[in-house]
Amino acid sequence: MFVSQIEDRNNTITISNPGQIRSREDIIKLKRNGVLNTWVNALRSDPSCGLPIPKHAQPEAQTSTVIEPLTRTQKQDKSKELLGEAKDLLRKVLSETFEGKAIEVSPFEDLADNMLESVMGDPDALRCMSALRSKDAYLLEHSINVAFLLITFGEHLKLDKSILKQFAIGGLLHDVGKIYIDDKILHKPSKLTDDEFIQMKGHQQHAIEIMKQTTGLSQISKDVCLMHHEKLDGTGYPYGLKGEQLPHHGRMSCIIDIYDALTATRCYKEAMSPAAAFKILLKLTPFHLDKALVYEFIRCIGVYPTGSLVELSDSRVGIVWESKGRDALHPIVKCFYSLKYKHYLEITYVDLLTADVNIERGISPSSLDVDPSPFY
């Protein structure tokens, strides 16, 4: 059931983290916290609860409503709102976890549902928004991107929706152990010393302890969190898993964690283009990464994924704007700059299926003399 309001011992009605109650443990926790009554939203509850739908909410049989499709701007606004919601939740949970509080899984389950809906509804708008990254918010944005990429990759592999939801939760929490790593090491702009690297690797030991305190987290979500630094040859951490010991979803998380780290701007490096990151992933096969899965991941994301920067054969620079339902080499590109003349252009949308130009190469934001972020 979806609880929208609660009443406590002081007879005050509050709206506190509205969301679904999924287990008896959730009910016990509410009672322990002094909650006497709850108000349930039947429309947002699981139909299997058997709650009657209010008559005023029942659609008239003889009428029909035409729902206007959202514009691209509206879709991106929704994606931006979802990304903000994810950051707020992660920021809150990381702070509470640092203080020693156990992680509550239910808010992540609700967020994961929204992420699934967004990826399956309009991945292009979401990918453009997630391409806007800040090196100062790396830990939050990296965790959110890993979750989205796991959903996208899992959907490409035609995995069950319930599995994708577990992927999303694991991705959101996969770097939770880093809250206990010294910021000087976490954000060091130069190469880590051997001792510092040992301390950095310790974030997975912290994650193991955090997972032990977390109830209601599925094994798949835990695996995504704890296996993304493992390697097929057994040289990874924290468990040193080798070959068949590393399950399919663990192998997926290894690929995605590396890919997203490579394509992000960090305090010690600029972002790579997706194409350059794919080359590195392939070099890490078959000893570290699963070769078949890496090739499948490249097919899933596309050589020029939505939100990435490309140079066209006429020296125009643009953002890959729309790729859903198209082959990898013929997306719609939003052009805004000329490398040849070194100045901004009037914004044009180039459909490479019909235009007499093609993509010359993928480029990284750091290779430009201008900031592309206002054009997303």
Q: Interior CA angle at 290 toward 285 and 294, to 5°?
A: 80
| Residue 318 host element (H or E) | strand 316-322
- Burial of 116: CB neighbours in 10 Å, binned 0-12, 13-18, 19+: buried
Instruction: Give the tokens for residue 311.
Output: 């140079």
Q: Letter for the amino acid at 309?
A: L
Residue 277 contacts residue 256 (beta carbons within 8 Å): no
Residue 126 contacts residue 178 (beta carbons within 8 Å): no
Residue 376 contacts residue 128 (beta carbons within 8 Å): yes
* pLDDT value for 20: 76
Residue 164 to residue 30: CA distance in whole angstroms: 28
Q: Which residues pair with 333 in a beta bridge?
A: 320, 350
Instruction: Give the tokens for residue 129.
Output: 């928004």
Sheet containing 309-312, strands listed edge to edge, beginning at the edge strand earlier in sequence: 343-351, 332-338, 316-322, 309-312, 359-363
**Residues 50-87 pLDDT 10s:** 676 655 444 444 444 455 667 777 777 788 888 888 88
Instruction: Give the tokens for residue 253.
Output: 């998380």
* pLDDT value for 251: 98
Instruction: Give the tokens for residue 89.
Output: 């939740």
Residue 108 to residue 171: CA distance in whole angstroms: 11
Instruction: Give the tokens for residue 215.
Output: 């109830």
* pLDDT value for 60: 44
* pLDDT value for 122: 72
Instruction: Give the tokens for residue 42.
Output: 């039947």
pLDDT along the chain (376 residues), means of 10: 72 59 78 79 73 55 51 77 88 90 92 87 74 70 93 95 96 94 89 93 95 93 97 97 97 97 82 90 97 95 89 95 85 94 93 94 84 87
Task: Please report the sign of the dihedral spanned by the C-alpha atoms of residue 29, residue 35, residue 36, residue 42.
Answer: negative
**Residues 100-123 pLDDT 10s:** 899 999 999 999 998 988 887 777
Q: Taking the C-alpha atoms of 177, 283, 133 and 347 in order, what is their torsion angle to the nearest 10 degrees?
A: -170
* pLDDT value for 314: 95
* pLDDT value for 62: 42
* pLDDT value for 221: 97
Directed axis angle between helix 248-262 and helix 161-173, to 10°?
A: 50
Q: Which residues pair with 317 in a beta bridge?
A: 311, 337
Residue 22 to residue 2: CA distance in whole angstroms: 9
How many Cα atoms are found within 13 Å in the side-chain-facing hemisphere of 295?
4
Q: Pairing mode, if any, of strands 332-338 and 359-363?
A: unpaired
Give Cα separations from 2 to 41, 43, 45 (angstroms).
Answer: 5, 8, 5
Q: Which residues pair with 20 in a beta bridge?
A: 2
**Residues 318-352 pLDDT 10s:** 999 988 878 878 999 999 999 999 999 999 999 99
Residue 199 to residue 191: CA distance in whole angstroms: 13
